Amino acid sequence: MDSTTPDIVPSNPSLRNRLTELSLQINDLYAQIERLEAERKSIVTALDAIVYPILSLPVDITTEIFAHYFDDLLDDGGKLQIPVFNLERARHAGPLRLSHVCRAWRSIAVEMPSLWNRIRATSLQKNPPGPDWRKLLNCWLSRTGSHMLYLDFVGLQHRDVQTRLLFPSIASYSPRWRVLRCYLNTPILFPIDTIRGRIPLLRKLDVRRQDIDASGDRVTAFFEAPELRKVQLCHLPPDSISLPWAQLTHLTLFGQSTACAIEVLHQTPNLVELSLDLRQRPGEVPPTPVILHHVRKLSLPNTFQRFSKFIHYLTLPRLTTFDIRSSSPAQDGDVAAVLALFRLSHCVVESVVCGGRYEEIALSTLAMTDMASKVTLHNVNWFNSTLSKLFLRIAMNPDFLPNLESLRAYRFVEIAEMLSARWYNRGHASRLRTFHLIRKAGSVDYIPDVSVLDKFRALMDDGVDIRIETMTKRTIESPVSLFNSGFILSLI
């Protein structure tokens, strides 16, 4: 006889009892779901009945708000400040941020061409984007209506993408191009024939070349551009591109030789603003000097030494703004070169902007340009003694910069003394009415002494516009004000 104990099989009554229990539990759950559904419905009804103030605005008012929001993303120079179209994260870009808020906003945003006509394509990934990106770009462009297009593609990591995917998509929109910033690699595969003579609205052009020392065919696509006024060429020799030079008013040349730069300047008699970052080449033939009768602003954004040799070939009789910045210290002869430019040009400089390690040049320039009413010092060494000398000289010498009305700089104690001297007891002389300071947090004298703060408060109460702001990574887009109506708001 088998000694194994057989499995106990549940009886028929026990199974039926368990089934009944499960049915009752399910019924209870259904009843609970019905109660939850009823509660949910009542909440949805209540929410739908709420009229949010922002949604109660007329569509035209909301449209105007959206337009101002995007206008604030552009600086005075018309540069695109926000990645409006990102290859990897397009859903977070520009107008899509607004369209994700609610259905009403999406409907308004999609129907506003002015929200879609500013495109800045960026790519952060090492791998190039796939073909779906072109479909996305075409969809984006289709929403621009008949508006002018502001296109910025210099942020692409994979610049060959501009040839394979980008240019074929944007070429058909060339009649509406207003701003174009892009790279042109060698050999030039840009669809020249497609856009030549079809860019009637192009106002600003920024063309760069990645392969600096390569040579290629001459780019003629932008020669017929009746509205073109602003051009920037980066490592693209002027003799490799045909442009309507004579009509340009703003010109920036990066990585050009002295001879090439002078040759171009002979063809640009109507320039108003000129920016130069030159590169010396051995064996250059000295160029013929040029006089630019309309240039009012000269900017030297990088190393000045290369420009000091260039200075002898340039005369700017109407120069009023001089902007010089460099991370390299001034060399012997640099100050003399600047002063020679002013002397030979017989110009009256009214605004001086200095940055980096060129304090000595700035002081010497200011000493010669007594008519200057605006002075800006960018990224100047906080502990440099020349700043103290500058502020002390302004405070003690009434004949030094007598027309000064606006100053941006980086110090507290000397600033308080200087502002007091240039505000009180001035009689009929010009008063320094505005002072704006932006600096990094963390300096040793970040928290001014109480007596210094009292001087600032007194000046502010008396009508002086004083703004002292600090910036950290957290506040880079919204600096925290140190003063507001004479009171400290916060210290970071």
Res 332 pLDDT > 80: no
Res 378 pLDDT > 80: no
Q: Break the chain into its structural domains and give their ranges.
A: 52-227
Rounded CA gap, 9 and 12, in Å?
9
Rounded CA gap, 483 and 364, in Å?
32
Q: Report the pLDDT averaged over residues 273-282.
A: 79
* pTM of the full structure: 0.70
In three-state secondary structure terms, 68 is: helix
pLDDT at 480: 44
pLDDT at 406: 86
Q: Report the pLDDT averaged over residues 224-231.
A: 96
Res 202 pLDDT > 70: yes
The mean of the pLDDT values for the chain is 77
Q: Report the pLDDT averaged over residues 130-137.
A: 72
pLDDT at 40: 94
pLDDT at 268: 96
Contact 202, 222 (CB under 8 A): yes
Res 58 pLDDT > 50: yes
CA 429 to chain centroid: 37
Q: Residue 247 — pLDDT band, cuts 50, 70, 90?
A: very high
Res 292 pLDDT > 90: yes
pLDDT at 486: 30
Rounded to the nearest 10°, the torsion over CA 473, 474, 479, 482 is -100
Res 475 pLDDT > 70: no
Res 476 pLDDT > 70: no
DSSP code for 444? T
pLDDT at 127: 57
Q: Report the pLDDT averaged over residues 388-398.
A: 82
pLDDT at 485: 31
Beta strands 118-122 and 149-155, pairing class: parallel
pLDDT at 227: 97
Rounded CA gap, 270 and 244, in Å?
11
Rounded CA gap, 47 and 336, in Å?
73
pLDDT at 131: 64
Res 474 pLDDT > 60: no
Q: In terms of Cα–Cα distance, which of 316, 267, 266, 311 is closest to 296? A: 316
Query: In terms of pLDDT, which residue wins out, 199 or 122?
Result: 199
Q: Report the pLDDT averaged over residues 187-213.
A: 80
| Least confident interval from 43-52, 111-120, 259-268, 347-356 | 347-356
Q: Please state, for a pLDDT cut of 70, what percent of the chain lies above it.
A: 67
Res 59 pLDDT > 80: yes
Query: In terms of pLDDT, which residue wins out, 135 or 89?
Result: 135
Q: Residue 271 — pLDDT band, cuts 50, 70, 90?
A: very high
Residue type, 390: L
pLDDT at 83: 44
Rounded CA gap, 455 and 453, in Å?
5
Q: Residue 374 — pLDDT band, cuts 50, 70, 90?
A: confident
Q: Report the pLDDT averaged over residues 463-480.
A: 59
Rounded CA gap, 489 and 472, in Å?
16
Query: In terms of pLDDT, which residue wins out, 343 or 451?
Result: 343
Res 37 pLDDT > 50: yes
pLDDT at 473: 41
Q: Please state, for a pLDDT cut of 90, what percent of the chain lies above it.
A: 20
| Least confident interval from 11-25, 101-115, 130-144, 462-476 | 462-476
